[in-house]
């Protein structure tokens, strides 16, 4: 068994958002996401089959939902997003990495 650290191996340049699958099973997917100034494309919303529990481990971000609500997330904040709840990332800190832990799961 190999021990890893969620805060290690972060690239110096983040031209694109990074999605790394940490665990992948039939019922649960766990990802580390690293953002630095990225946001969702203007043209779309995430509309996922699974529920998604997401936490900001480091940095800041703003998540918006299609019901016109939004949340400004800081390190330690988490939210549970039910399946098919349309949402998008409207902002991540352009000066510092935002490290997310995302868990997708079935009800």
The domain ranges of the chain are 23-105
Task: Say if residue 43's pLDDT is above 80.
Answer: no
pTM comes to 0.92
Tokens standing for residue 100: 């997310």
Grade residue 53 by pLDDT with cuts at 50, 70 and 90: very high
Mean pLDDT value of segment 32-45: 90
Asked if 34 and 9 touch (Cβ cutoff 8 Å), the reply is no
Place of tokens 């902002």: 91
pLDDT of the residue at 30? 98
Grade residue 64 by pLDDT with cuts at 50, 70 and 90: very high
Residue 89 C-alpha from the chain's centroid? 8
At the fourth CATH level, the homologous superfamily of domain 23-105 is: Jelly Rolls (2.60.120.10)
* Rounded CA separation 27/99 (Å): 23
Q: Please enumerate in sequence order all residues whose Cβ is within 8 A of that of 26, keeping only pairs 6 or more positions apart, or say none.
A: none
């Amino acid at each position: 068994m190999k021990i890893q650290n969620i805060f290690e191996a972060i690239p110096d340049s983040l031209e694109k958002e990074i999605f790394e699958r940490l665990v992948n099973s039939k019922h649960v997917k766990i990802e580390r996401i690293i953002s630095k100034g990225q946001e969702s494309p203007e043209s779309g919303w995430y509309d996922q089959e699974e529920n998604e529990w997401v936490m900001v481990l480091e940095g800041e971000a703003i998540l918006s939902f299609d019901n016109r609500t939004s949340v400004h997330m800081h390190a330690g904040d988490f939210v549970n997003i039910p399946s098919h709840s349309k949402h998008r990332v409207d902002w991540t800190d352009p000066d510092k990495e935002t490290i997310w832990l995302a868990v997708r799961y079935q009800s």
